[in-house]
Structure 1
Amino acid sequence: MDLVVIGGGSVGMLYAARLLLSGQSVRLITRTREQAGQIRQDGITLRQLDGTERHAPIPSQPLEDGLPAADLYLLAVKQTDLDSILSALSDIPPAARVLALQNGMGHFEKITGILAPSQCLFASNTEGARRISPVFVAHTGTGLLRLGPWEEAKERDPIGSAFVELANRSGFQAVYENGMKPFAWRKLLANASINPLTALFDIPNGMLLESPHTMHLMRELFQEAAAVAQRYGEKIEEQDWQDIVKICRNTSRNISSMLQDIRRRNETEVKAINGYLVQKGREAGLPTPMHETVLRAVLLKSDMVKGKGEAAIDLFQ
């Protein structure tokens, strides 16, 4: 299988490195020419869960040089960077697949708007990773990769099935699902309950479980999000809440992508996560005051950090 990973962030680097170290040929596409040059020169250093480090010499090029032909494109960019990728994706080979790893829900409409349904696969990833530098990524927590078509389909996609086998050989826990929509909703509930609180309080995932106050806030966010999901036909149960608690426990050392963005003064995905729930709640006539509050709070914190530089960072640490 010819495999291209698009995105030089924590998730893209983690998948590219582990797949290559398992013997799979991989090419990594980065947003900047600078990062691509550094990776070509130094490769990627992967710090594993046990603290050991491995070196992955990965071929890399910037997005502006175009996308090489491949069987599968692993799309590991944030929702905030997706629009800049769409034009390049529209030129991929007709038989190729795009596997989307985004948080939130808005990417479904964008990707299916430019590609045929047969080309689109979607994933829910709970593996934890943190980018230390443009060439250094740390694996911070085990998780589960689910992937498949968005809507229910009786036949398994051959490229998607082959990637599940490849991912499992590379040390991931991956499963193929005949329809990803229910799992995307549940991943949205997890992201919306965990990420904004870690970003606001500047804590790793596991610390949310250490205080009754953060547990209470997380539970309220979950309940509001569950009400929205149920209005749109999803059956949300108590086990879904327990699964979110389990994610926090399994990725206890992980710094959420939203908190990483705050620390780096990058735009966060809060609009695509909590903002999406606020929008869908309004359309359904459901109030979502908790999600609207954390949405505004994360946007404010992001603006303060970007606007005041080091002084703002000191304020939140």
Structure 2
Amino acid sequence: MNIVIIGQGAIGLLWYHHLAKSSKNAVSLFCSSRTTFIPSHYGFTDINLQSDELALTVADNAAFTDAELILICVKSYQVKAVIEALKSKISAHVIIVFCHNGMGACHNLADLQQSCLTLLTTHGCKINSPFHAQHTGLGHCDLGSIHGKISPLMRANITSTLEQALPTLTFTNDIKTKQWLKLAINCVINPLTAVENIDNGQLLDERFTPIITELISEIITVAVYEDVKFNFDELQEKIMQVAKNTAKNCSSMRSDMLQQRKTEIDYINGYIVSLAKKSGIPVPKNEKLVQLVKALSQVD
């Protein structure tokens, strides 16, 4: 399959590395316009801490023209600009797959001819240095349609290609619920670890129980208006299990703040706040976290 991956961050390099392993795939990477230097090789440290340096194929105009699949692995606030830039480069038949945190970045797809999917992953990965990624934790991926129609054959082909590259992966017809589950997890773990400057596992401390409880209650209330229903105890258990499983991890939002990068708060807790305002629902704890993250992050 001809595949172009957009974004040289941790997840972009993770997918590039695993998809490029197969001789059945022609994979190229398109880097941010802000990138001043693109090396001929990239570094990758696998889950067993084995490091390697491999050749990097950079996407050119021909790669976009021939692409059957475009995997967009950028920050949520960069999605809109990427979509606009793509429109003049790609065919109407290419499948676009979005892989980013948060929700709300892909709500304006109505004028896109291309069919679009979203890819959610719990695999852990981090950037050790520019163009060197490290796979830090095994996880699962969920794939689902969010715009347009995709033939059963193409759906099966894409699902098989991605699953063979980075197991495990499932295509689901209920991707919205999966998106909301990941959003809920991110709404608790990301801002609290960023504001407190702590690893994920430290959220298991009882002093965080009241704020976590209130955040979950607000999220559940807003989710109902989007026809998504959660059980409080089950959702709380899921969130705390993720915090436990990733105890030593630095959340993406905390990492962004420590490195003085723009955060995705507007597409995580900010998305909850936006929906709540439309429905007249008070969500003071989510609002407070949005304000705190923006106050602590000079680039937001």
- TM-score, normalising length: structure 1: 0.85
User: CA contact under 8 A between 2:4 and 2:59: conserved in structure 1?
Assistant: no
Provide closer, same or farther for how the CA distance between residues 165 and 240 of structure 1 changes in structure 2, counting only shifts above 3 A: farther
Whole-angstrom distance in 1 between the partners of 2:256 and 2:245: 21
Match of residue 91 from structure 2: 93
| Structure 1 unaligned spans of 5+ | 308-317
Whole-angstrom distance in 2 between the partners of 1:159 and 1:254: 36
Match of residue 273 from structure 1: 268
Whole-angstrom distance in 1 between the partners of 2:36 and 2:54: 15
Whole-angstrom distance in 1 between the partners of 2:144 and 2:34: 32
Match of residue 5 from structure 1: 5
Provide closer, same or farther for how the CA distance between residues 79 and 8 of structure 1 changes in structure 2, counting only shifts above 3 A: same
Match of residue 47 from structure 1: 45
Match of residue 189 from structure 2: 194
Equivalent position amino acid for 2:218 in 1: E
Match of residue 225 from structure 1: 219
Provide closer, same or farther for how the CA distance between residues 94 and 151 of structure 1 changes in structure 2, counting only shifts above 3 A: closer
- TM-score, normalising length: structure 2: 0.89
Of all paired residues, the percent bearing the same amino acid is 27
Whole-angstrom distance in 1 between the partners of 2:269 and 2:80: 19
Whole-angstrom distance in 2 between the partners of 1:21 and 1:283: 46
Provide closer, same or farther for how the CA distance between residues 50 and 66 of structure 1 changes in structure 2, counting only shifts above 3 A: closer
Provide closer, same or farther for how the CA distance between residues 132 and 93 of structure 1 changes in structure 2, counting only shifts above 3 A: same
User: CA contact under 8 A between 1:143 and 1:247: conserved in structure 2?
Assistant: no
For residue 29 of structure 1, report the CA deviation from its aligned partner: 0.7
2:13 is aligned with 1:19 = no
2:112 corresponds, among 115, 126, 134, to 115
For residue 84 of structure 1, report the CA deviation from its aligned partner: 2.1
Provide closer, same or farther for how the CA distance between residues 44 and 220 of structure 1 changes in structure 2, counting only shifts above 3 A: farther
Q: Secondary structure at the match of 1:95?
A: coil
Provide closer, same or farther for how the CA distance between residues 139 and 207 of structure 1 changes in structure 2, counting only shifts above 3 A: farther
Q: Secondary structure at the match of 1:260?
A: helix
Mapping for residues 292-307 of structure 1, pairs under 5 Å: 292-303=287-298
Whole-angstrom distance in 2 between the partners of 1:32 and 1:152: 29
Cα RMSD over matched residues? 2.5
Count of residues paired in the alignment = 297
More helix by share: 1
| Structure 2 unaligned spans of 5+ | none
Equivalent position amino acid for 1:167 in 2: L
Of 13-22 and 159-168, the range deviating more from structure 2: 159-168
Mapping for residues 104-183 of structure 1, pairs under 5 Å: 104-110=102-108, 112-116=109-113, 119-150=115-146, 157-183=152-178
Equivalent position amino acid for 1:60 in 2: V
For residue 22 of structure 1, report the CA deviation from its aligned partner: 4.3
Provide closer, same or farther for how the CA distance between residues 49 and 215 of structure 1 changes in structure 2, counting only shifts above 3 A: farther
